[in-house]
Structure formats: C-alpha cells, structure tokens
Chains A and B, each alone.
Chain A
C-alpha cells in the first residue's frame, strides 16, 4: 500500500500501448463507433488517420467492417463500450469474426459496476458470459494499466479473435512492468495455504489487499490473477486448489457465466472443492461511484474478507 503508484485505468493502458504499436506495426487498423475519446483510441486516430476508420454509432457495422479488414490481411481493432460491443453486435462477432477466425481484436471498455455514474445500461456485466462461449475467441481482462498494455501487445501477436475487457475507472497500478504476460497463463501473485482467491480485472487488486489484511489474522490466502478467462489456465488453478482445497472467485461481472463459472466448470470435472462465487448476483447495477457500488453490491474488500472467513 505504501509505495502505491498513481491510479490509472486499463483503458488508458490499452490506448498508450496502441499508440506505440501503431508505429511498429503498420498492419494495424482501428475501427471506431463514435467513442474514440472514451475508449482511448483517439491518440492513434490523430497520429495515424489513414489507418483509422470511423463508422459512427453503428456497432454491428463496426464489427463487420473489422472482419472485412481482417479478411484482407489487416489486424483490425474495434473499440467501443462493452455494452455495445460485444453487447449489441454479438451475432456479428459470432459469424463475421469468430466463425471466420478473422483477426479482429474487440476492445470493450466501461465494464462492470466500475463504469459507475452512467448507470446500469452502460455497465457491462454480461460480456464475459457472452464471449467465453464463442469458439475461437480468447477472452482477457487485464488487472491494471501495466497489464492492459501487455495484454494488447499479446492480443496483436496472437493470430485470431481476442476480446479485451477494459475498465473506465482509475485503479491501482500494482503489477510490474517487467512481469511476462502470456495469454492463458494465470499468475499466483501471493502465495498462501488456506484458500485460493481467483480474480480478474481491477478486482485482482482488491483481492490482494483483502488477502494482506487476512494475513494479519493468520489466514493464509493464495491470490491468483486470472487475466485470461479463456483459455483458462487449468494447470495453475488446479495446482493451487489441490493445495488449499477451497476456492473463492471474484469479478466485477454477473456471477452467472463469468470467471467464477469458468472455474467452477473446470473444477467440477477435475477436482470438486467447496467454492464461493463473488460477483454481481443476478441483478442490474445503478448509478454511483464505483466504491459505493462495490459496497452496495457486496464486492468490497470487507465482503471479500467475510466471504473467505465463511468458507474456511
């Protein structure tokens, strides 16, 4: 906590990495649906106008145009709020992109209750559920600014469709710039013995902080940053769970169909243990500050701590 860096958002990490990649990789073309500023693609647009396509408020067409670019050899990056893309253009994602294995990177920002004041219509709480069920699609939710930068680089290197789940709000930058990021490789960021706590996105930081507090009460929590929801890192998760024999999952997303569901599906077949899934419990969000919403919808550090105590 003491040497905390300044707060930054994962969308910002993506935007900064995109600008740098734009210089290195001339094959990258960005497609926008009138949210260039909010999705942090505007710097790329200013610097590389010839490789920036603005289709207006038309997310279905955005996904199709991205697919067409990709089928012509481009690395297409389509960015919008996640409620619109992949929320509104799921069929285009399914057929034009995933079925064709088109090399499109789908950038969804403003995910989770963390989107805050815009309210329920703009808080994507279902995007993991609707993306991780699609064949050929990789699903990544980076934990902080640094990891978002690395996640975009990895997504661009990966040949095929990738969904990058990003957050609007500024959150702690706590992962190291040097840490190697590999798609599908979860990271044990704190070792522990009593329970495995698995999170994705900015919730990883909350998990880590809760684990530190629990350590002062002699509760040893192993924390895993599961930035790639699909393909799920079965090996790392199983190794930890076989040791602790208890699991808590944590995400700023509906419980139904999210990271916790993915883990539960895997554990049910391989190593069933007591598990608690923390997320939004089958309800819509509302306007408010992220921290207020996390309190009200039972996703704050206090809730993590009490959940872990209950499962032990």
Chain B
C-alpha cells in the first residue's frame, strides 16, 4: 500500500469524499464538514502511514487510530471500507436500523473501529491508555488520535494531554483538525482557543503543523511525528471544513447537517469533475 503515489492517493480521497456525500444523503442526517475536511489525512494515514492489515483487524502489533471526535465517522467508515475492512456496500447502512455503522462509532461490531466515541474528549484518554499499554508490553506500535479543535473545549482532553507528557508517550500522535468551526458557529466565537501551539508546548508536547490538504506536507509531517522519539507529538492540521464541495467549504452550517438529494448530486458532480 505504501507504494501509492500522490496522484493515486488523491484519487482514493476523491472517492472517499464521494462515499461520504452518498452515505450522508442516504442517512438523512450526520456531519459532513469535518469528515470532508479530514479526508486527505485519513487517506494518507490508512493508505500510506499506518502499519495495519485490514483482514487482520485485531493484530496485536497494528498501529491504532483512535477517533476521538466521533461525529467524523463517515470519513472513518468510508476509509476503512476502501482499505478493505468491510464490504463497500455496507456504507449504505450508515445510521440505519441493524447497521454496524452507527451514527457515532461503536468499536465492537465493525472491524477497524478501535473505540466507541461521540461524547468529545474521551478518545484521547483511551489513546493515552493504549499508548501506556504498548509501553508496558514494550511493543513498537503507534497510536494516532484524531481530535478536533473545538474538542479542546473539553476539560478531559487536557487531563489526557498532561498524562501523555508525564509518561513521555513517544508512541502517541494527536492529529488536531484545526478547521475553525463547531456546531453553533466559529471556534473563535464559541470558545476562543488562542494558540494551541503555545498550549501544547507548555504541556510538554512536540508541536508540528501542516496544511491538511497538501499531500507532501502531510506525509512528511506524519513521518516526522512517528520518528520524533522524545515524547508525545501533536500535529495541528489546518483544514478547510467541507473541503472538495464548494458550497460547503468553510461554512459552519455544514458541521452537523446532511445534504439533501439535490445538494448531494451537485456535490458528487463537483467531485467527479475534480478527478
């Protein structure tokens, strides 16, 4: 998988974005903006960076991806399906009765889902627990946690950030989606975060930043994070919420609203043209 070049990866990401739109139209509810914004990073993680084997989802030496902001799950599900964890046809069942694709992720039924999430701030603590377990076992795998910028409103997240520094968890990488929006508006208006860089630095973390849509930069940054060695690393990934669908980009209104049929068709048309 790691032999894929940027052009291949971009094609996969485009397909995943189409999946996300199709899934959300069908589901009639859900969260498009964050999922579309993080699609490039998810694609690179699962098709380039993570050490994982989709048909051995519970391999003990696998790298773990912990999705802390559970509402991003359409991108997780679509990426997992495209990577081969479960049949693509199952993406149609998102948010439907008797589905393994719950509205917010449940770890037990669906291969590749490491943790249950939804209430913000809980994934990062579990990622810290997994990183500690790896240390106890002297195992070499990495834990990649995905959090959102607004998730940093949650106090629990900072409790976990302190713990990661205390135990010098150099097997933990927190990728923060800095997209500047949350459900009720702009992050800067709802609860100003000021400088996440300064915050993380003062909490003892190595801070890296990347443009969340520049493939070269993302790959370099993720590799640098994996090789850091001295302690936990946070990657502040600057993304455009709704990326790839012009009428959704940078609009907080698309945080938690699914596209209607017609809007979906418009979005899919745009995405197909972009390949």
Contact = CB atoms under 8 A, between A and B. Distances in A.
Nearest to A56: B162
Interface stretch (B4-12, B33-41, B152-160): B152-160
B84 to A, nearest CB: 22
Contact count band on B: 20 to 34
B21 to A, nearest CB: 28
A236 B5 CA distance: 66
Interface in B96-126: 106-108, 114-119, 121-126
Contacts, number: 106
B132 interface: yes
Contacts of A99: 106, 116
B60 interface: yes
Interface stretch (A89-97, A109-117, A225-233, A249-257): A89-97
Contacts of A56: 159, 162-163
A67 B163 CA distance: 15
B126 A65 contact: yes
A100 B107 contact: yes
Contact count band on A: 20 to 34
B128 to A, nearest CB: 5
Interface stretch (A2-10, A71-79, A238-246, A270-278): A71-79
Interface stretch (A47-55, A151-159, A203-211, A298-306): A47-55
A95 B102 CA distance: 14
Contacts of B155: 60
A60 B114 CA distance: 19
A29 B129 CA distance: 10
B128 A95 contact: no
B275 interface: no
Contacts of A96: 115-116, 122, 125-126
Nearest to A55: B163
A68 B169 CA distance: 14
A29 B136 contact: yes
B230 interface: no
A71 B118 CA distance: 17
A207 B136 CA distance: 45
Contact of A50 (B115, B124, B127, B136): B136
B43 to A, nearest CB: 25
A29, A63, A100 — most chain B CB neighbours (10 Å) = A100
A101 B108 contact: yes
Interface string B149-186: 00000011001101100010000000000000000000
B134 interface: yes
A71 B136 CA distance: 14
B126, B132, B160 — most chain A CB neighbours (10 Å) = B126
A92 B122 contact: yes
B115 A66 contact: no
B129 A69 contact: yes
B162 to A, nearest CB: 7
A67 B132 contact: no
Interface string A16-56: 00000000000001000000000000000000001101011
Nearest to B156: A60
B193 interface: no
Contact of A58 (B114, B126, B136, B163): B163
A52 B163 CA distance: 13
A67 B125 contact: yes
Given A29-B136, A68-B129, A76-B129, A58 B159 contact: yes
Interface of B: 60, 66, 106-108, 114-119, 121-134, 136-137, 155-156, 159-160, 162-163, 167
Given A68-B133, A91-B122, A96-B115, 10 more contacts: A29-B132, A50-B136, A53-B167, A61-B125, A64-B125, A71-B115, A72-B130, A95-B116, A95-B117, A100-B115
23 contacts: A29-B132, A29-B136, A53-B132, A58-B159, A61-B160, A63-B125, A65-B129, A66-B129, A68-B115, A68-B125, A68-B126, A68-B131, A69-B132, A71-B114, A71-B115, A71-B126, A72-B133, A72-B134, A73-B133, A74-B133, A92-B156, A95-B117, A100-B107
